[in-house]
Structure 1
Amino acid sequence: MIPVRAPVSDQMEYTPYTFPPGNASISSSVLSLCPSAATLFFLPSAYTLLFLTALPGNVLSLWVFQRCISTASPIHVYLSHLSISNLMLSVTMPFLAAYFALGSSWMQSGFLCQLVLHGITPVFHININISMTILTLVALSRFAAIIRHTHASRQSGCVTLLPHGFFARLTRASFASRVCAGVWVVAVGGTVPVTVYYSVKEAVSGEAPAKDGCVEVCYNPAVEIGGSFSAMLAVPVITLFFVFYLLVLISYMTVLRHIKRSRRSTKVTTSQRLLGRVLRNIVVIQVVLSVCLLPHHIFKPIFLSLIINQRLQMYSPGPDICNSCHPLSTFVELKNCLLLLAALRGSTDPLMYFLLDKTFRHKTLRLLGWNQSSPGGQQRSSVIGSDNQSAGQMEDGTVDSTQRSAL
């Protein structure tokens, strides 16, 4: 009879596998991942809670962007595409909750495990790639608008270094639509082949230990760690994230410097509130990237180096090899908790839209039955992109109609 790895209820029988690498005969991939309470209870509960908040929040956001805002600005185009991506992510959350709660008892060849490998994993990583790109584009669009349409004691160096048409295109809705279409093509085209190779070739490599008398479950080292090919392709994605993160940081520093210069110009003294709001918008995006995506992308290279080091070690077989803990079990759980932070954006992004965009905020409140207006009786247009209200009131009386439509 083939011995089967212990079910979740018997997880206390797992023992750390510490055989010396002396008489090497097997790889560490034979060992089991030993889920703790963080995997069995915390992650399923957290993903369930995120699903209950992300699904209605993103459905409402998408409805407002598509149905309630008649003339979309570039920012509305970017955020509507981000809402679509987050809506797809929210649909995956119940399956992720089930995977972490029951993956240690599912068979790898079962339908639910294969669904997670072939369906949920690609959608999850596509969302991460799309979100980090679109958030960067939002920050760059705000940066371009404020640099082009406000004045300072002297012109920003970015205006002289980069072509004028570059900033003009960043503030056009048609350009935003084309860019978002390109982002989807690149994200899907770049992610799907890698995840298909991972799920077909690398994840199924975990079935090899069955020859040694172990039946592979879904939550195993091959599934959670992957292989050399997917690890290699993770490096450019990590690099791209830090490039985007640096671009947002540079935008923040440049706008902050622009505001300081503007204060020395009597021509735009009344524009300070407007400049401050744009700065706040970029700061909000920087915080979202820092809290939700930065920890995962910092830990990922560390995790990959641990994997490489672990693969170089071989272990002697023991009498209870099927129930022995993989040495990276704790690091796998830490990786999954940091991925939870990335998924947290699915719930927090609708709140971010509410904070960033006045048009979105007014339309949402009106849709919910709260008719909000400014003390003067007129609703002010959005700081980051006006729609049909753009002819409406900016608090800065010196900003002309062209500036209002861009900002």
Structure 2
Amino acid sequence: MDFTPFTFPPDNSSFSSSVFCLCPTAATRIFLPSVYTLLFLTALPGNALSLWVFLRCISTISPTHVYLSHLSISNLLLSLTAPFLAAYYAWGSVWTLSGALCQLVLHVITPVLHINIYISLVILTWVALCRFAVLIQHTHASRPSTCTTLLPHTFFTCLLRASFASRVCAAVWVVAVGGIVPVTVYYSVNEATAADGAAEEGGCVEVCYSPAVEIGGSLSAAFNVPLFLMFFIFYLLVLLFYMTLLRHIRRSRHSTNITTSQSLLGRALRNIVIIQVVLSVCLLPYHIFKPIFITVAHYQLQPTSPPNILNHCHPLSTLIELKNCLLLLATLRGSTDPVMYFLLDKTFHHQTLVLLGCNRNNLRGKATLGSDTGSAGQRTGQVVDGNVATATGDLSHESVL
């Protein structure tokens, strides 16, 4: 499903979209609905539990917890769209384009889906920047990081405040919703008449799962360009932050002989690699393939079949199914994020086990260890004489995202 519904192109493209039908295979009719159903069953309770832990069970909130709580809200909204997406892929070739269910998927579900993808990207970028600031300030390698001299001290101070993180998240929501909703409103007001007129002429444009919806038109193609640019800029920023952290951690590892510090730094390295792999596996393939798909669909597709072959499969049917599978891969992050919180954040791990009543006796003995998670300003006093072991020990009990 494209980001915005179809803007009818002239001449040959209009003919191709209205005459040729999409021929969904088992990948669309069975696999996608099944996985979206699984996404709903796992992401809804997982993110609801995560949000409850962040908001009700953690007494001292750090900037990282603020970011992750907003990410949980976004994933919770995403999980609510999964049943509608499952129904769309299962029965979209039967629904009419003007039907209530199709319009709901196009104008409500699809925007929420893409809002989640880009809110997650921006929030993870800020989480990476926050972790970057804490680590380079509170651990010491053979020499200080260059970033501590290039960036102003007030910038690092703001990053370590939960109130600043809340303002950043609010701005991200406003920008994401404000950039996506007007496009769908424009379609509803100005292009619905054109869609209805084309549907009266017959062909496959009158069904919901059609080339008109899946390929999109000039408006959706143009609007995707800044989104792709934003993704790759933020993705490279995250990669830069993490590579800088890896370099700093390696230098810190070589500058200390404390066994405990070596172990904690190794754990930080592992966690950084895990998150970078998740971003690369879930989001990167879709954003690499989508520009290629748009180029093929809008600039290289030339209809060659005669107009009386109404049931002939659309030439891009296979590519459309591949695009939808990659979009599913991007949305599956909504189910994996709670697992990431559990594995990477010691406080979240501890509070979740307490909430679920698991190993309560053992957790009491570790309560003081898990309670060390807090704002970076509170932990700064624990860093004495540049002791790498103390600093990295505090970081190990917070999210190292």
**Bin of the TM-score, shorter chain as denominator length:** 0.7 to 0.9
Aligned equivalent of 2:390, options 386, 398, 403:
398
Change (3 A) 1:116 1:40: same
1:368 aligned partner: 356
Q: Does 1:194 align with 2:194?
A: no
Summarize deviations over 1:312-370 as a string: whole Å, max 9, x none.
x344643232x121111111111110110111011111001101111001000000001
CA contact (8 A) 2:121 2:234 kept: yes
Q: Which residue of structure 1 lines up, in the alignment, with residue 338 of structure 2?
A: 350
Indicate whether 1:272 and 2:269 are aligned.
no
Task: Note the C-alpha offset of 1:267.
Answer: 8.5
1:89-238 paired onto structure 2 within 5 Å: 89-198=78-187, 201=190, 205-214=194-203, 216-238=206-228
Indicate the residue corresponding to 1:327 in structure 2.
315
CA RMSD of aligned residues (A): 3.2
Residue type at the aligned position of 1:248 = V
Q: CA deviation at 1:111?
A: 0.6
Report how many residues are paired: 383
One-letter code aligned to 2:343: L
Show the counterpart of 1:290: 280
1:39 has 2:28 as partner: yes
Q: Deviations over 1:31-57 (max 9, x none)?
A: 211111111110001101110111111
What corresponds to 1:9 in structure 2? none
Structure 2: give runs of 5+ residues left out of the alignment: 1-10
**Structure 1 residue 376: Cα displacement:** 6.5
Q: Distance in 2 between matches of 1:264 and 1:255?
A: 14
- Counterpart CA distance in 2 for 1:137 and 1:24 is 45
Corresponding residue for residue 53 of structure 1: 42
Deviation at 1:72, TM superposition (A): 0.8
Which runs of 5 or more structure 1 residues have no equivalent in the other structure? 1-22
CA gap of 1:204–1:137, structure 2 versus 1, over 3 A, is farther
Which residue number in structure 2 is paired with residue 337 of structure 1? 325
Amino acid at match of 1:350: P
**Deviations 1:206-253, CA, capped at 9 Å, x for gaps:** 544434433610111111111111111111111111111111211221
Residue 405 of structure 1, CA deviation: 9.8
| TM-score, structure 2 normalization | 0.86
Q: For the Cα contact (< 8 Å) 2:265–2:392, is it kept in 1?
A: no
* Contact 1:270–1:396 under 8 Å retained in 2: no
**More divergent stretch after superposition (129-138 vs 98-107):** 129-138
CA distance in 2, matches of 1:392, 1:45: 51
Please, what TM-score do these two structures have when normalized by structure 1? 0.85
Deviation at 1:159, TM superposition (A): 1.5
State the secondary structure of the residue aligned to 1:398: helix
Partner AA of 1:249 in structure 2: L
- 1:8-47 equivalences under 5 Å are 27-30=15-18, 31-47=20-36
Structure 2 CA distance for partners of 1:273 and 1:381, relative to 1, 3 Å: farther
Question: Counterpart amino acid of 1:59?
Answer: A
> Is the contact between residue 386 and residue 404 of structure 1 (CA under 8 Å) also seen in structure 2?
no
- The Cα shift of 1:275 comes to 3.1
For 2:25 and 2:141, how far apart are their aligned partners in 1?
57
Query: Identity across aligned pairs (percent)?
Result: 67
Aligned partner of 2:242 in structure 1 is 252
Deviation sequence 1:147-168 (CA, Å, 0-9, x none): 0111111111222222222222
